[in-house]
Chain A
């Protein structure tokens, strides 16, 4: 199987779906002539022309709303946010319009639209450019939230998202675009709402998504050297959440650590911890633990930034604590 980059997998998903469905178009800042700020849309303007690949001015509220209106009229837009940090000026469009029009109209209008772009911290981008937004979006009924962890998932999930009939928040790890992974030649889809066991184990479950799956897998490799077998569960879709997969894993291992890059208060991990506590109460051998980003805006300084993001050593330490193996 060919090894391709995360950005190339996303590009393939968009190109393939646009080839099969003329209703799909891409718009966003620098997606066309510049080939994308992160080169995800490289070559797409040349392939599809300016009718279907549109550079927008820096007006997220405006073009997010245009996407929603176009979806109401039956098109299937892809709206790229250069980063999810810039989505807040369009928050009204996502929350007040995209998430609610279907219900307010009693199903007369559906909104097949994908909002996508990079999220999470990168390196030394400071507070306004280093945020995880999934907890904010997943809070809103009417939206689906998808966060792939590798190129294979990225392609299969984005293709499914582009065939779904709901507004979708698709968040790509900002420092994952160069990640390589195997992606098959032929077409495949990964259904939304179905998680994936990224590594099997029996002593403890780590629930992680997007970039944090890499931290979880690296920690699992470290811990395996000491005979600790970690199961890594990636929900892949935050909403709808594959609760059954998480519950079945934790029921087996009896311990759970949730790793998320975002802030702890009202984080996605808080919701998952609640569901585990409710469903696995009798199976738990330790309290559910969370490893999250620090509860503060992201600092610029490199050393301080590193202390604000979950890392492999901290994940290893958290697992040992849950297994009562601390020194």
Chain B
């Protein structure tokens, strides 16, 4: 793991002059995502809902930083580990938590669950449960944007495990060939489920896959939300103004297991602790201190997040469920 860490490119220092308000907002979003997922883990262990629960704790800066560089009309696709991306794209904690609780007030009325959050008005195009299977879809919305000339950009998130899939390579083939306005973002969290990179990849630098497609690429680590935003902004600019795709690899780490049943026996506690020193929320807090944000402002945000998540859990708890009669309408469009 440390070998990869060393390969990661150095950050651009030019981008430190960020507005305080933006820093606070990024921090708020990351913290809300963290607290939301912690609340979900707790509710899961209390058996308030079932199924799979994949947490992105430790990876929050990737979603928040990249979506910060996006416009609301831009599209985003994600995997089954997508609570962070959904929230960063503007979806409420209420609609996300209620969805996981299987309630009708959830974003997908309780029909999708943790792995399939959708929000059409916010152009959050879904979380998908088949590894790599959604990557061609992202090329598809990018195709539609180019077809219409609407200037929108598509972001597509996937994990390092997706890179072995044919769908990944076919999507990149077509996106490069047709010059589609899409940014492919590999969130390399070092493990595809319990398999470390070196046991699943012959070349550990995922961004190098772009070379074969003649596609622009970037590679950096994902603990600093502002760095993520600024590096993503370049790829998004390339998509929007030149209609060219980019493959971006963000090196990150998930602090929790693959899912709730993962005992984490494939990695050491020392390794996890080492990465926790680079917790994106701690880094974000550091950015606030550097920008001389008053402690009281930070505390106010933390208090607001706490209330927001408590309210969302209560809301989800109290919401009702869809009936079987209501279900039928969703198989086919009349």
A271 contacts B by Cβ under 8 Å: no
* In contact, B166 and A104 (Cβ under 8 angstroms): no
Residues in A neighbouring B138, C-beta threshold 8 A: 69
C-beta contact mask, B170-201 vs A, less than 8 Å → 1, else 0?
11011001100000000000000000000000
A residues 179-224 touching B (CB-CB < 8 Å): none
B116 contacts A by Cβ under 8 Å: yes
A42 contacts B by Cβ under 8 Å: no
B184 to chain A, nearest CB (A): 13
* In contact, A66 and B126 (Cβ under 8 angstroms): no
- In the assembled complex, the Cα of A104 lies from the Cα of B106 at a distance in Å of 12
B333 contacts A by Cβ under 8 Å: yes
Q: Which of A62, A74, A110 contacts B139 (CB 8 A)?
A: A62
B302 contacts A by Cβ under 8 Å: no
Contacts A92-B133, A97-B133, A108-B108; A65 near B141 (Cβ below 8 A): no
Contacts A66-B136, A108-B108; A61 near B330 (Cβ below 8 A): no
* In contact, A65 and B135 (Cβ under 8 angstroms): yes
* In contact, B167 and A103 (Cβ under 8 angstroms): no
- In the assembled complex, the Cα of A93 lies from the Cα of B135 at a distance in Å of 10
C-beta contact mask, A53-64 vs B, less than 8 Å → 1, else 0?
010110101111
Contacts A59-B174, A65-B171, A66-B143; A102 near B333 (Cβ below 8 A): yes
Total count of chain A residues near the partner, CB < 8 A: 41
* In contact, A92 and B333 (Cβ under 8 angstroms): no
Q: Which of A56, A105, A109, A142 contacts B331 (CB 8 A)?
A: A142
C-beta contact mask, B305-334 vs A, less than 8 Å → 1, else 0?
000000000000000000000000111111
B119 contacts A by Cβ under 8 Å: yes
Q: Which of B118, B142, B147 contacts A104 (CB 8 A)?
A: B118
* In contact, A61 and B167 (Cβ under 8 angstroms): yes
Compute the total of residue contacts between A and B using a CB distance below 8 Å. 139
Which of B75, B107, B134 counts the most chain A CB atoms within 10 A? B134
- In the assembled complex, the Cα of A97 lies from the Cα of B171 at a distance in Å of 15
B residues 127-174 touching A (CB-CB < 8 Å): 128-130, 133-145, 147-148, 166-167, 170-171, 173-174
Q: Which of A69, A103, A108 contacts B140 (CB 8 A)?
A: A69
C-beta contact mask, A98-119 vs B, less than 8 Å → 1, else 0?
0001111111111000000000
B109 contacts A by Cβ under 8 Å: yes
Chain A residue nearest to B180 in the complex (CB): A66
* In contact, A64 and B136 (Cβ under 8 angstroms): yes
Contacts A62-B167, A64-B136; A106 near B118 (Cβ below 8 A): yes
- In the assembled complex, the Cα of A166 lies from the Cα of B331 at a distance in Å of 9
B111 contacts A by Cβ under 8 Å: yes
- In the assembled complex, the Cα of A59 lies from the Cα of B177 at a distance in Å of 12
B299 contacts A by Cβ under 8 Å: no
* In contact, B333 and A110 (Cβ under 8 angstroms): yes
* In contact, A109 and B118 (Cβ under 8 angstroms): yes
* In contact, A62 and B171 (Cβ under 8 angstroms): yes
A75 contacts B by Cβ under 8 Å: yes
B90 contacts A by Cβ under 8 Å: no
* In contact, B174 and A105 (Cβ under 8 angstroms): no
Residues in A neighbouring B166, C-beta threshold 8 A: 61, 89
* In contact, A104 and B111 (Cβ under 8 angstroms): yes
- In the assembled complex, the Cα of A64 lies from the Cα of B134 at a distance in Å of 11
- In the assembled complex, the Cα of A165 lies from the Cα of B330 at a distance in Å of 12
Residues in B neighbouring A72, C-beta threshold 8 A: 125, 137, 140-141
Instruction: Give 21 A-B contacts (CB < 8 Å), ordered by A residue.
Output: A61-B170, A62-B139, A62-B174, A63-B170, A66-B140, A66-B174, A68-B137, A68-B140, A69-B139, A72-B140, A73-B75, A75-B144, A92-B130, A102-B330, A102-B332, A103-B111, A103-B331, A106-B111, A109-B126, A141-B331, A142-B331
7 residue pairs, one from A and one from B, having the closest CB atoms: A69-B140, A65-B136, A62-B170, A73-B144, A105-B118, A69-B137, A106-B109
